[in-house]
Structure 1
Amino acid sequence: MTDEGERPEVFGPIDAGALREIRDLFRNREPLVETAELDDPLNPQTLSVTVSDGVGDADSARFDIRWSLSGNYAVHYTDDRKRNFRFDCHPKPDAPTRHFHPPPDAPSRPVEASCITVSETGLVARAVIQRWRYAYDRGAFDGINDGQNPP
Protein backbone atom coordinates (compact mmCIF):
# COMPACT_ATOMS: atom_id res chain seq x y z
CA MET A 1 0.00 0.00 0.00
CA THR A 2 3.02 2.31 0.19
CA ASP A 3 3.72 4.42 -2.89
CA GLU A 4 6.93 3.82 -4.71
CA GLY A 5 9.40 6.21 -3.18
CA GLU A 6 7.24 6.97 -0.12
CA ARG A 7 9.54 6.77 2.86
CA PRO A 8 8.03 5.73 6.21
CA GLU A 9 9.86 8.60 7.95
CA VAL A 10 7.99 11.07 5.69
CA PHE A 11 4.61 9.48 6.42
CA GLY A 12 5.35 9.44 10.15
CA PRO A 13 4.44 7.22 13.09
CA ILE A 14 0.88 5.87 13.15
CA ASP A 15 -1.79 7.56 15.28
CA ALA A 16 -3.64 4.70 17.00
CA GLY A 17 -6.29 7.04 18.41
CA ALA A 18 -7.12 8.33 14.93
CA LEU A 19 -7.47 4.78 13.62
CA ARG A 20 -9.87 3.94 16.46
CA GLU A 21 -11.91 7.09 15.74
CA ILE A 22 -12.12 6.19 12.05
CA ARG A 23 -13.07 2.61 12.91
CA ASP A 24 -15.97 3.83 15.03
CA LEU A 25 -17.14 6.28 12.36
CA PHE A 26 -17.20 3.57 9.68
CA ARG A 27 -19.10 1.23 12.01
CA ASN A 28 -21.66 3.89 12.97
CA ARG A 29 -22.13 5.61 9.59
CA GLU A 30 -21.98 2.89 6.96
CA PRO A 31 -24.56 0.07 7.24
CA LEU A 32 -22.64 -2.20 4.82
CA VAL A 33 -19.63 -2.46 7.17
CA GLU A 34 -19.08 -6.08 8.16
CA THR A 35 -15.83 -5.71 10.10
CA ALA A 36 -13.56 -2.86 11.13
CA GLU A 37 -10.39 -4.19 12.72
CA LEU A 38 -6.95 -2.94 13.67
CA ASP A 39 -4.08 -5.16 12.58
CA ASP A 40 -2.64 -5.02 16.12
CA PRO A 41 -4.67 -3.79 19.10
CA LEU A 42 -1.62 -2.57 21.01
CA ASN A 43 0.46 -1.08 18.21
CA PRO A 44 -1.83 -0.72 15.18
CA GLN A 45 -0.43 0.28 11.82
CA THR A 46 -3.49 -0.30 9.65
CA LEU A 47 -7.27 -0.31 10.04
CA SER A 48 -9.06 -2.69 7.66
CA VAL A 49 -12.77 -2.15 7.04
CA THR A 50 -14.66 -4.76 5.04
CA VAL A 51 -18.00 -3.99 3.44
CA SER A 52 -20.52 -6.56 2.28
CA ASP A 53 -20.88 -5.09 -1.20
CA GLY A 54 -18.81 -3.06 -3.61
CA VAL A 55 -19.24 -0.54 -6.38
CA GLY A 56 -21.06 -1.83 -9.45
CA ASP A 57 -20.61 -5.56 -9.99
CA ALA A 58 -18.27 -6.05 -7.01
CA ASP A 59 -19.63 -8.37 -4.34
CA SER A 60 -17.31 -7.25 -1.55
CA ALA A 61 -14.74 -4.58 -0.80
CA ARG A 62 -12.22 -3.44 1.79
CA PHE A 63 -10.70 -0.17 2.93
CA ASP A 64 -7.17 -0.22 4.36
CA ILE A 65 -6.46 2.95 6.31
CA ARG A 66 -3.31 4.45 7.78
CA TRP A 67 -3.17 7.74 9.70
CA SER A 68 -0.03 9.31 11.10
CA LEU A 69 0.55 11.51 14.13
CA SER A 70 1.53 14.28 11.71
CA GLY A 71 -1.85 14.10 9.93
CA ASN A 72 -0.72 12.17 6.87
CA TYR A 73 -3.16 9.51 5.73
CA ALA A 74 -3.77 6.84 3.11
CA VAL A 75 -7.23 5.38 2.52
CA HIS A 76 -7.06 2.53 0.00
CA TYR A 77 -10.19 0.89 -1.44
CA THR A 78 -9.99 -2.48 -3.17
CA ASP A 79 -12.77 -4.83 -4.24
CA ASP A 80 -13.17 -8.41 -5.42
CA ARG A 81 -12.99 -7.21 -9.05
CA LYS A 82 -9.44 -5.96 -8.32
CA ARG A 83 -10.44 -2.31 -8.70
CA ASN A 84 -8.69 0.23 -6.48
CA PHE A 85 -8.60 3.90 -5.60
CA ARG A 86 -6.89 5.91 -2.85
CA PHE A 87 -7.41 9.19 -1.07
CA ASP A 88 -4.03 10.22 0.33
CA CYS A 89 -2.46 13.10 2.20
CA HIS A 90 1.32 13.00 2.44
CA PRO A 91 4.30 14.64 0.75
CA LYS A 92 4.71 13.32 -2.78
CA PRO A 93 7.11 14.81 -5.33
CA ASP A 94 5.35 16.55 -8.22
CA ALA A 95 1.89 16.09 -6.68
CA PRO A 96 -0.37 17.95 -4.28
CA THR A 97 -0.07 16.84 -0.66
CA ARG A 98 -3.77 15.88 -0.71
CA HIS A 99 -4.15 13.67 -3.75
CA PHE A 100 -6.30 10.96 -5.28
CA HIS A 101 -5.17 7.79 -7.04
CA PRO A 102 -8.03 7.05 -9.47
CA PRO A 103 -9.68 3.74 -10.24
CA PRO A 104 -9.47 1.18 -11.61
CA ASP A 105 -5.88 0.57 -10.49
CA ALA A 106 -4.88 3.55 -8.27
CA PRO A 107 -1.56 4.15 -10.05
CA SER A 108 1.30 5.90 -8.29
CA ARG A 109 1.46 8.31 -11.22
CA PRO A 110 -0.42 10.27 -12.37
CA VAL A 111 -2.48 11.42 -9.41
CA GLU A 112 -5.15 14.11 -9.14
CA ALA A 113 -5.73 16.77 -6.52
CA SER A 114 -8.12 15.31 -3.94
CA CYS A 115 -11.61 16.71 -3.52
CA ILE A 116 -11.12 16.14 0.23
CA THR A 117 -9.62 19.36 1.53
CA VAL A 118 -10.46 19.00 5.23
CA SER A 119 -7.79 17.71 7.57
CA GLU A 120 -9.55 16.67 10.79
CA THR A 121 -9.65 12.91 11.27
CA GLY A 122 -13.41 12.61 11.64
CA LEU A 123 -14.14 14.91 8.71
CA VAL A 124 -11.77 13.04 6.39
CA ALA A 125 -13.38 9.72 7.38
CA ARG A 126 -16.86 11.14 6.75
CA ALA A 127 -15.74 12.51 3.38
CA VAL A 128 -14.31 9.14 2.31
CA ILE A 129 -17.52 7.38 3.34
CA GLN A 130 -19.56 10.00 1.47
CA ARG A 131 -17.53 9.70 -1.74
CA TRP A 132 -17.59 5.88 -1.61
CA ARG A 133 -21.34 5.93 -0.99
CA TYR A 134 -21.72 8.30 -3.97
CA ALA A 135 -20.00 5.75 -6.23
CA TYR A 136 -21.82 2.82 -4.63
CA ASP A 137 -25.28 4.36 -5.08
CA ARG A 138 -24.53 5.08 -8.75
CA GLY A 139 -22.86 1.74 -9.40
CA ALA A 140 -19.82 3.42 -10.97
CA PHE A 141 -16.64 5.25 -9.97
CA ASP A 142 -17.32 8.21 -12.29
CA GLY A 143 -17.26 11.42 -10.27
CA ILE A 144 -15.92 9.85 -7.06
CA ASN A 145 -13.29 12.59 -6.77
CA ASP A 146 -15.59 15.39 -7.95
CA GLY A 147 -17.18 16.25 -4.60
CA GLN A 148 -17.33 19.89 -3.59
CA ASN A 149 -15.68 20.19 -0.17
CA PRO A 150 -17.00 16.93 1.28
CA PRO A 151 -18.32 15.93 3.74
Structure 2
Amino acid sequence: MSRPPSSQTTPQFHRVSERDLTEIELHSVDSINDLHRTHPEHSQKGVRPPRPAYSPSLNGNLFTCDMSAVNQRRRPVSSKWQTRLQDMLTPSSSHAYAMGCAIITLLLLTVFLIFYFLVQQGGAVQMLTEAVREKEETAKELSLLIQELQALRKNLTVMRGGS
Protein backbone atom coordinates (compact mmCIF):
# COMPACT_ATOMS: atom_id res chain seq x y z
CA MET A 1 0.00 0.00 0.00
CA SER A 2 1.18 3.51 -0.71
CA ARG A 3 1.71 6.16 1.93
CA PRO A 4 -0.86 9.03 2.09
CA PRO A 5 0.29 12.36 0.63
CA SER A 6 2.00 14.75 3.03
CA SER A 7 -0.82 17.33 2.74
CA GLN A 8 -3.23 14.87 4.38
CA THR A 9 -2.68 14.22 8.05
CA THR A 10 -3.99 11.22 9.88
CA PRO A 11 -6.49 11.81 12.67
CA GLN A 12 -5.10 11.96 16.18
CA PHE A 13 -6.83 10.54 19.25
CA HIS A 14 -6.56 11.97 22.76
CA ARG A 15 -7.81 10.20 25.88
CA VAL A 16 -10.52 12.24 27.64
CA SER A 17 -11.49 11.44 31.21
CA GLU A 18 -15.06 11.07 32.46
CA ARG A 19 -14.65 14.24 34.51
CA ASP A 20 -13.58 16.19 31.42
CA LEU A 21 -16.56 14.85 29.43
CA THR A 22 -18.93 15.87 32.24
CA GLU A 23 -17.39 19.35 32.32
CA ILE A 24 -17.73 19.65 28.55
CA GLU A 25 -21.39 18.60 28.74
CA LEU A 26 -22.14 21.11 31.51
CA HIS A 27 -20.39 23.85 29.58
CA SER A 28 -22.44 22.97 26.49
CA VAL A 29 -25.69 23.11 28.47
CA ASP A 30 -24.71 26.50 29.94
CA SER A 31 -23.88 27.80 26.47
CA ILE A 32 -27.19 26.60 25.07
CA ASN A 33 -29.07 28.20 27.96
CA ASP A 34 -27.21 31.47 27.37
CA LEU A 35 -28.05 31.29 23.69
CA HIS A 36 -31.75 30.74 24.45
CA ARG A 37 -31.76 33.59 26.94
CA THR A 38 -30.07 36.08 24.57
CA HIS A 39 -31.73 34.86 21.34
CA PRO A 40 -35.30 33.69 22.06
CA GLU A 41 -35.91 32.93 18.36
CA HIS A 42 -33.51 29.97 18.71
CA SER A 43 -35.49 28.45 21.59
CA GLN A 44 -38.18 26.99 19.31
CA LYS A 45 -38.62 23.25 19.13
CA GLY A 46 -36.66 21.52 16.43
CA VAL A 47 -33.81 24.03 16.35
CA ARG A 48 -30.58 22.34 17.30
CA PRO A 49 -27.47 24.03 18.60
CA PRO A 50 -24.43 23.93 16.35
CA ARG A 51 -22.46 20.70 16.48
CA PRO A 52 -19.12 20.73 18.29
CA ALA A 53 -15.95 20.76 16.22
CA TYR A 54 -14.98 17.35 17.61
CA SER A 55 -16.62 13.96 17.35
CA PRO A 56 -16.37 11.95 20.59
CA SER A 57 -15.89 8.26 20.02
CA LEU A 58 -17.37 5.40 22.03
CA ASN A 59 -14.10 4.58 23.75
CA GLY A 60 -13.74 8.09 25.25
CA ASN A 61 -11.03 9.20 22.83
CA LEU A 62 -11.51 12.62 21.31
CA PHE A 63 -11.18 12.71 17.52
CA THR A 64 -9.47 15.87 16.28
CA CYS A 65 -8.95 16.90 12.72
CA ASP A 66 -6.31 19.13 11.18
CA MET A 67 -8.37 21.88 9.48
CA SER A 68 -5.56 22.94 7.17
CA ALA A 69 -5.65 19.50 5.56
CA VAL A 70 -9.44 19.68 5.22
CA ASN A 71 -9.27 23.12 3.63
CA GLN A 72 -6.71 21.87 1.11
CA ARG A 73 -9.09 19.14 -0.01
CA ARG A 74 -12.14 21.39 -0.41
CA ARG A 75 -13.19 23.14 -3.59
CA PRO A 76 -11.77 26.61 -4.16
CA VAL A 77 -13.67 29.50 -2.59
CA SER A 78 -16.45 30.66 -4.88
CA SER A 79 -16.39 34.13 -6.33
CA LYS A 80 -18.56 37.00 -5.08
CA TRP A 81 -21.16 36.76 -7.83
CA GLN A 82 -21.67 33.05 -7.18
CA THR A 83 -22.14 33.77 -3.48
CA ARG A 84 -24.63 36.54 -4.27
CA LEU A 85 -26.52 34.23 -6.63
CA GLN A 86 -26.68 31.54 -3.95
CA ASP A 87 -27.90 34.12 -1.43
CA MET A 88 -30.61 35.25 -3.88
CA LEU A 89 -31.75 31.66 -4.42
CA THR A 90 -31.64 30.75 -0.73
CA PRO A 91 -35.13 31.10 0.70
CA SER A 92 -35.59 33.44 3.64
CA SER A 93 -38.75 35.05 4.93
CA SER A 94 -37.82 38.60 3.90
CA HIS A 95 -36.48 37.44 0.55
CA ALA A 96 -39.61 35.37 -0.10
CA TYR A 97 -41.78 38.37 0.85
CA ALA A 98 -39.85 40.67 -1.50
CA MET A 99 -40.06 38.14 -4.35
CA GLY A 100 -43.79 37.70 -3.72
CA CYS A 101 -44.33 41.46 -3.84
CA ALA A 102 -42.32 41.73 -7.06
CA ILE A 103 -44.30 38.92 -8.71
CA ILE A 104 -47.65 40.41 -7.66
CA THR A 105 -46.55 43.84 -8.91
CA LEU A 106 -45.56 42.36 -12.28
CA LEU A 107 -48.86 40.51 -12.56
CA LEU A 108 -50.86 43.66 -11.76
CA LEU A 109 -48.80 45.67 -14.25
CA THR A 110 -49.44 43.02 -16.91
CA VAL A 111 -53.20 43.06 -16.25
CA PHE A 112 -53.18 46.89 -16.39
CA LEU A 113 -51.34 46.87 -19.73
CA ILE A 114 -53.76 44.30 -21.16
CA PHE A 115 -56.78 46.42 -20.17
CA TYR A 116 -55.11 49.56 -21.52
CA PHE A 117 -54.48 47.80 -24.84
CA LEU A 118 -58.09 46.58 -24.96
CA VAL A 119 -59.44 50.08 -24.30
CA GLN A 120 -57.21 51.50 -27.05
CA GLN A 121 -58.39 48.82 -29.46
CA GLY A 122 -62.01 49.45 -28.46
CA GLY A 123 -61.60 53.14 -29.36
CA ALA A 124 -60.09 52.23 -32.72
CA VAL A 125 -62.91 49.78 -33.46
CA GLN A 126 -65.49 52.46 -32.62
CA MET A 127 -63.81 54.95 -34.99
CA LEU A 128 -63.72 52.35 -37.78
CA THR A 129 -67.40 51.53 -37.25
CA GLU A 130 -68.32 55.22 -37.58
CA ALA A 131 -66.22 55.53 -40.74
CA VAL A 132 -67.95 52.50 -42.27
CA ARG A 133 -71.40 53.96 -41.46
CA GLU A 134 -70.45 57.28 -43.04
CA LYS A 135 -69.18 55.46 -46.13
CA GLU A 136 -72.44 53.51 -46.43
CA GLU A 137 -74.47 56.72 -46.07
CA THR A 138 -72.31 58.42 -48.70
CA ALA A 139 -72.71 55.43 -51.04
CA LYS A 140 -76.52 55.57 -50.64
CA GLU A 141 -76.54 59.31 -51.38
CA LEU A 142 -74.34 58.77 -54.45
CA SER A 143 -76.60 56.02 -55.78
CA LEU A 144 -79.64 58.31 -55.32
CA LEU A 145 -77.82 61.14 -57.13
CA ILE A 146 -76.88 58.79 -59.98
CA GLN A 147 -80.51 57.67 -60.29
CA GLU A 148 -81.66 61.31 -60.37
CA LEU A 149 -79.01 62.16 -63.01
CA GLN A 150 -80.14 59.24 -65.13
CA ALA A 151 -83.77 60.39 -64.81
CA LEU A 152 -82.76 63.94 -65.73
CA ARG A 153 -80.80 62.68 -68.76
CA LYS A 154 -83.83 60.69 -69.91
CA ASN A 155 -86.04 63.71 -69.50
CA LEU A 156 -83.52 65.90 -71.33
CA THR A 157 -83.20 63.48 -74.25
CA VAL A 158 -86.98 63.17 -74.44
CA MET A 159 -87.32 66.96 -74.45
CA ARG A 160 -84.69 67.38 -77.16
CA GLY A 161 -86.18 64.66 -79.24
CA GLY A 162 -89.72 65.97 -78.87
CA SER A 163 -88.89 69.56 -79.90
Which has the bigger relative contact order, CA under 8 A and spacing at least 6? 2
Q: TM-score range by the shorter chain?
A: under 0.3
- The structure whose residues are more often strand, as a share, is 1
Give the alignment's TM-score, normalised by structure 1: 0.23
Give the alignment's TM-score, normalised by structure 2: 0.22
- The structure whose residues are more often helix, as a share, is 2
